A = this chain, B = another copy of it.
Amino acid sequence: MIGGGFGGLYATRELGKGRDLVDVTLVDRRNHHLFQPLLYQVATGALSPGDIAQPLRSIFRRQRNTTVLLGEAVGLDADGRQVLMSDGGPIPYDTLIVATGAHHQYFGHDEWMPNAPGLKTVDDATEMRRRILIAFEAAEREARPDVRRAWMTFVIVGGGPTGVELAGALGEIANDTLRADFRSIRPPDARIHLVEAMDRILPTYPPDRSRSATRQLERLGVTVRTGTRVVHVDDGCVRVEPAAGDGETEEIPTRTVLWAAGVLASSFGRRVADATGAETDRSGRILVEPDLTVPGHPEIFVVGDAAVQPWKPDRAVPGVAQGGIQGGKHAGATVLRRLRGEATPPFRFSDRGDVAVIGRLSGVTNIGWLGPFGRQGGLLAWMLWLGIHIVYLIGFANRIVVVVRWAWSFLTRGRSTRLITGSPLLPPIEEPEPPA
């Protein structure tokens, strides 16, 4: 088992039911399972990293057939059935479940990365939080109007759920959380641009949900720019042009770009494709068989964002937590069924629906099985979102702490974990000027 995200976690849990049949080794580079759907709340200071992460060892402490190994898988010897590690000897396997996920990509412009951090790990989130908070601090100290305006301008690239939730949280920070905290700037004056190349945000939702999300974001002061493509990023500006390619380039002066676009399978997933000759999609995700195994390698499962998990004839499972959870459960159950000599049905994705939250008391849902009731905007979406996220959060103490923090934020419009950590502590000032 490679990867301790949703896919790896639920596959390992499933395999724990076959104590007499299997021994499980769960390998991850990190010592914790991270509840990624709430990572943007760490990036925006509403939650602490510890609130949404749980050590893998303590999750599987009582599952005696399971060993957790902190290590980095860097290669696959598919014929010899062993995983190569960056440190330490190879790990042999009878069955391999690959759940190494995906991260953002910069469409061939990796040089944008230093100025446009993505959001996949705890360290990413604390770095994003640092940049957001530093921007307001720098604007407060800055006397020149144009430089101040660049510090007060935020560009979020990517209109999927992460980008939408980040934009909503930023709007809330500017309008509510920081409203009274500064003396020289008015945080509600911040400009927040959400840039999406497709013609609408939340493209996996029905069009009316996208419209509802756009309206709710605009109420928070977010400028939603669909059909717009980023063509350049540096430390002072973002250049965009119409995605159709027939318009003029526009320059947005900004010091803070947050990246939430593109999908690229993790490097171990791509190694698996190389080692097995499996086909991948443009994002490097492996095209798996209906039972989630690699073609020609029934002993290798690929689940979650590392795979293109089959769903409808014209559509794969979207890259959401449910995909990993259900893929992982399926792989684990299939392994046990095989060992028991039972029939192994193909993977069937059951769409539980999507919820995205947009600031305080609002959001959008798209929950097919609830019928018309499943298409909510505003308060009801927000409440559904709360409930779902608390149920799926791993770790009972975390659930209580998150409820306390949310309740507190809700009542006070505050965010309790607005720490700037790491270096540099302060943004550089090019031409120091005496304070007014």
Listed stretches A93-101, A321-329, A332-340, A392-400; interface member: A392-400
Q: Determine whether the beta carbon of A180 is less than 8 Å from that of B408.
A: no
Size of A's binding interface in residues, CB under 8 A: 68
Q: Determine whether the beta carbon of B55 is less than 8 Å from that of A432.
A: no
Q: Determine whether the beta carbon of B88 is less than 8 Å from that of A58.
A: no
Q: Determine whether the beta carbon of A72 is less than 8 Å from that of B426.
A: yes
Q: Determine whether the beta carbon of A31 is less than 8 Å from that of B88.
A: no
How many whole Å from A73's CB to the nearest CB in chain B? 12
The answer to whether the Cβ of A69 comes within 8 Å of any Cβ in the partner chain is yes
The B-contacting residues of A in range 29-48, CB under 8 angstroms, are 29-32, 47-48
Given A71-B426, A401-B401, A426-B72, A419 and B32 contact (CB-CB distance below 8 Å): yes
Task: State which of B31, B71, B121, B435 has its C-beta within 8 Å of the C-beta of A133.
Answer: B31
A121 to B421, CA, bound (A): 9
How many whole Å from A23's CB to the nearest CB in chain B? 10
Given A31-B133, A88-B141, A405-B397, A425 and B122 contact (CB-CB distance below 8 Å): no
Q: Determine whether the beta carbon of B49 is less than 8 Å from that of A421.
A: yes
Q: Determine whether the beta carbon of A88 is less than 8 Å from that of B435.
A: yes
Given A181-B58, A404-B400, A123 and B421 contact (CB-CB distance below 8 Å): yes
Q: Determine whether the beta carbon of B429 is less than 8 Å from that of A87.
A: yes
Contacts of A181 in B (CB 8 A): 55, 57-58, 61, 68
Q: Determine whether the beta carbon of A183 is less than 8 Å from that of B70.
A: no
Task: State which of B72, B88, B412, B414 has its C-beta within 8 Å of the C-beta of A425.
Answer: B72
Chain A interface (Cβ < 8 Å from any Cβ of B): 29-32, 47-51, 53-55, 57-58, 61-62, 67-72, 86-91, 121-123, 126, 133, 137, 140-141, 178, 180-183, 395-398, 400-401, 404-405, 408-409, 412, 414, 416-422, 425-426, 428-429, 432-435
